[in-house]
Copies of this chain bind each other. A is one copy, B any other.
Amino acid sequence: MNLKNDLLLRTARGEKVERPPVWLMRQAGRILPQYRALRAKLSGFKELVETPELAAEVTIQPIDELDVDAAIIFSDILVIPEAMGLTYEMVEKKGPFFPQTIKSREDIHKLISANDAAEQLQYVYRAIELTKKNLNGRVPLIGFAGAPWTIFSYMVEGSGSKTFSKAKRMLYAEPELSHQLLEKITETTILYLQRKVDAGVDLVQIFDSWAGILSPEQYRQFAVPYLTKICQSVTRVPVTVFGKGAWFALADFAAMDCQVIGLDWTISPEYGKKIIGAKKVVQGNLDPCLLYADNKMIERATLDVIQAFGDKHIVNLGHGVYPDTPLDSVKQMVATVKNYQYV
């Protein structure tokens, strides 16, 4: 099906475009009243993730409400560890929790094979198919996965953490075992993303949410090779790599087979452009807290970021939008981008 608005894809492919596209990480979520209304009727977060009709519905809500240039499938990066054999619970206000974690070689051997794990995630593929059908070509649909290091950190730590010291302890104490687990996660993620592309996603984004807690050396050793492999294996659609706190790895990202690099808000456009160069498109990087300011400041900061990055830029926040962000502020940001024209 032809897309009515393919601005995101033309931009990701490096084509000359009329203005930057705009979407927000976590745009399908608590900022939207229609999301909160639906969510209140359900047993929990996972029911939403695992029911294709509901996932499709909330994926499309921000297209109706915010008029952004892309949809991103409502899901969670933790469906991968779950498909590999570690179920997770989403604890209200606390985040994810894994009753079982990876502690030993035996735990890794017991994990479900990459093929079987990817096969289990039918509800995701079905949600993508439904969303594509219901979007009816209005905007492209983004699929995503967690980066292997980030998935590893949850599988070993068992929950979110300020330090992820259990996960990092494994990297230091058992590097070989760590590579085994990272390899398994990578294989599964590749098959999963390929199935997502089969199901219809138009672009794929890899989230390395915990990149910033590793030293540059560990990141090069335990994260970069696996990201590189994933980028090489997803060939039919553009790929975005986004490492939160990964300022020290931008040159590594720039060397990968990806089209877009996501930047968090600690990276100035000047620094980002200098390290990444002109061969990649960049995505970002407004501070989510900017959206607590008044409309005038939001407009000015949005224009500033567009001008600072120049072309080859997808406007987004530097992190997921915070749940208590005023809807009008998001709309102000989106409208500012949509009214802009490159000269």
Q: Which residues of A contact B (CB under 8 A)?
A: 163, 165, 168-169, 171-173, 212, 214-218, 245, 247-248, 265-268, 271, 287-290, 292-294, 297, 322, 324
Contacts and interface: CB of A to CB of B under 8 A. Distances in A.
A255 to B, nearest CB: 17
A212 B171 CA distance: 24
Nearest to A264: B215
A289 B169 contact: yes
Copies of this chain in the oligomer: 2
Contact of A218 (B165, B247, B287, B292): B287
Contact of A292 (B169, B294, B322, B324): B169
Given A163-B289, A247-B247, A289-B168, A173 B294 contact: yes
14 contacts: A165-B288, A165-B292, A165-B324, A168-B292, A172-B289, A172-B290, A173-B293, A173-B294, A214-B266, A215-B268, A216-B268, A217-B268, A245-B266, A247-B266
A168 B287 contact: yes
Nearest to A325: B165
Given A172-B297, A265-B215, A288 B163 contact: yes
A110 B248 CA distance: 43
B163 A322 contact: yes
Nearest to A220: B268
A165 B288 CA distance: 9
Contacts of A171: 289
Contacts of A293: 169, 172-173
B217 A289 contact: no
Nearest to A290: B172
A212 B162 CA distance: 14
A85 to B, nearest CB: 25
A290 B292 CA distance: 39
A289 B165 contact: yes
Nearest 9 Cβ contacts at the A-B interface: A168-B289, A169-B292, A172-B293, A216-B268, A215-B265, A215-B287, A173-B293, A165-B289, A172-B292
B163 A215 contact: no
A129 B267 CA distance: 43
A139 B232 CA distance: 55
Contacts of A287: 168, 215, 218
A288 B169 CA distance: 10
A271 B251 CA distance: 13
Contact of A268 (B169, B248, B288, B297): B248
A137 B212 CA distance: 40
A172 B287 CA distance: 10
A41 to B, nearest CB: 28
B289 A271 contact: no
Nearest to A292: B169
Given A168-B292, A172-B289, 16 more contacts: A163-B289, A165-B289, A165-B292, A165-B322, A165-B324, A169-B292, A171-B289, A212-B266, A214-B266, A217-B268, A245-B266, A247-B247, A247-B248, A247-B266, A248-B266, A248-B268
Nearest to A218: B287
A165 B173 CA distance: 36
